[in-house]
Structure 1
Amino acid sequence: MLKRCIMIFPEFKNMNLIDQIREKYDPLAKHVRPHITLVFPFESNIKTNELKEHLLKRLEGIKPFYLSLKGIVTSRANGNYIFLNIEDGKEKIIELHNNLYTGILEDYIPDWLRKVEYFPHMTVGNVANEDQYIKAIEETKNFNHVFETIVDTISVEIIDENEDSIIELNIPLG
């Protein structure tokens, strides 16, 4: 059984600013590049070619799109999270998310996601305790850099036993 995740790995000119926050507050910073999750981690025996076929079908006709992120948003759903807010491209990400969670991936929608609306974001922190969380919120409250790019690829990663990301597939849009 493989543990996988489907995501967008955006490339920004000022990516180092995101990396600095993640190194401080995100325990996964050394395991996976900054990303936007479309399909949350799931374990399955789906073959690579079956998954690729599903993605090609569900992404058909979707063109590359503009993405911008700015500002910090916090969430206490399932942890003490600090997110980079998506300003432009949110609707397209929701469309991708909804398209991908059909067919062979429909059974892998996490229970928690069935109870809430999908909120596109980039995680930049997940801290263990209340004091760290309050400190992280305070230290990031004025983080108002703008991050812009064109999203042109959707990636499937395999998450290994060390939580490291191994890219299995890259599917170009358009």
Structure 2
Amino acid sequence: MDTRTIMIFPKFENIHIIDDIRKKYDQLADLVLPHITLVFPFNSELTNVELNLHLEECLRGIHPFKIELNGFTKRQDKYGNYLFLNIVQGTDEIINIHSILYKDRLKKFNSGYDYIPHMTVGKLPSKELLDNAFDDVSKCNDRFSTVVNKISVEMIGEHEESIIVIEYELK
């Protein structure tokens, strides 16, 4: 069974700034492009054809929408010490898509956690390193804006690499 994830891969004109931060603080930077996770990694018997049908059914009324990211947050939980780039516009649309996608065929994969849309730009081994990274990135006041017009499904390869298997165009 393949592990898959549903994400937004935003295309920002100034994405090199995010790439530079991720190279410093995110061990997945070379394996997966900057992204916003909509459905967290799941293992399912669903084929990609069935999953694409699920996207078509769920996203039928969703149109392209604008997002803007700015500012950083640090988060510590049982999964690790994370550095997030905050979403300041488009949050409601992303939460709506997240909720819709977890219905029906993917409902059993919803962990029930409060979903706060974000872009992970770092995962650090200790609180001290997270605090240092947060101090570093807090100097960055850049805004990242784009229009989201595509939802992607990636398969996670055996070496943690991202393999895009579906790209659904919002209409």
Match of 2:39 in 1: 39
Out of 151, 159, 162, the position equivalent to 1:165 is 162
Please state how far the C-alpha of 1:74 moved relative to its aligned partner: 1.1
Q: Which shows bigger deviation, 66-75 or 136-145?
A: 136-145
1:76 is paired with a residue of what secondary structure?
Answer: strand
Please state how far the C-alpha of 1:4 moved relative to its aligned partner: 0.2
Please state how far the C-alpha of 1:41 moved relative to its aligned partner: 0.4
Cα distance between partner residues in 2 of 1:147 and 1:93: 16
Cα distance between partner residues in 2 of 1:96 and 1:130: 32
Q: Which shows bigger deviation, 73-82 or 46-55?
A: 73-82
Where do 5+ consecutive residues of structure 1 fail to align? Answer: none
Cα distance between partner residues in 2 of 1:130 and 1:99: 34
Query: How much identity, in percent, do the aligned residues show?
Result: 45
Cα distance between partner residues in 1 of 2:100 and 2:140: 32
Pair 1:145 & 2:146 matched: no
Where do 5+ consecutive residues of structure 2 fail to align? Answer: none
Q: Match for 2:168: what amino acid?
A: I
Q: Match for 2:95: what amino acid?
A: I
TM (norm. structure 2) is 0.97
Q: Is the 8 A contact 1:26 1:124 kept in 2?
A: yes
RMSD over aligned Cα, in angstroms? 0.8
Residues 108-149 of structure 1: CA distance to partner in whole angstroms, max 9, x if unpaired?
Answer: 113xxx1x3100000000101122112111111122100000
Q: Match for 1:37: what amino acid?
A: T
Match of 1:8 in 2: 8
1:13 is paired with a residue of what secondary structure?
Answer: coil
Cα distance between partner residues in 1 of 2:45 and 2:2: 6
Match of 1:97 in 2: 98
Q: Match for 2:106: what amino acid?
A: L
Cα distance between partner residues in 2 of 1:138 and 1:104: 41
Pair 1:132 & 2:129 matched: yes
Q: Match for 1:95: what amino acid?
A: N
Cα distance between partner residues in 1 of 2:43 and 2:27: 21
Cα distance between partner residues in 2 of 1:137 and 1:85: 13
1:27 is paired with a residue of what secondary structure?
Answer: coil
Match of 1:21 in 2: 21
Cα distance between partner residues in 2 of 1:82 and 1:143: 13
TM (norm. structure 1) is 0.95
Q: Match for 2:81: what amino acid?
A: N
Q: Match for 2:56: what amino acid?
A: L
Match of 1:79 in 2: 80
Please state how far the C-alpha of 1:50 moved relative to its aligned partner: 0.6
After TM superposition, the runs of 4+ consecutive aligned structure 1 residues lying more than 2 A away are none
2:134 is paired with a residue of what secondary structure?
Answer: helix
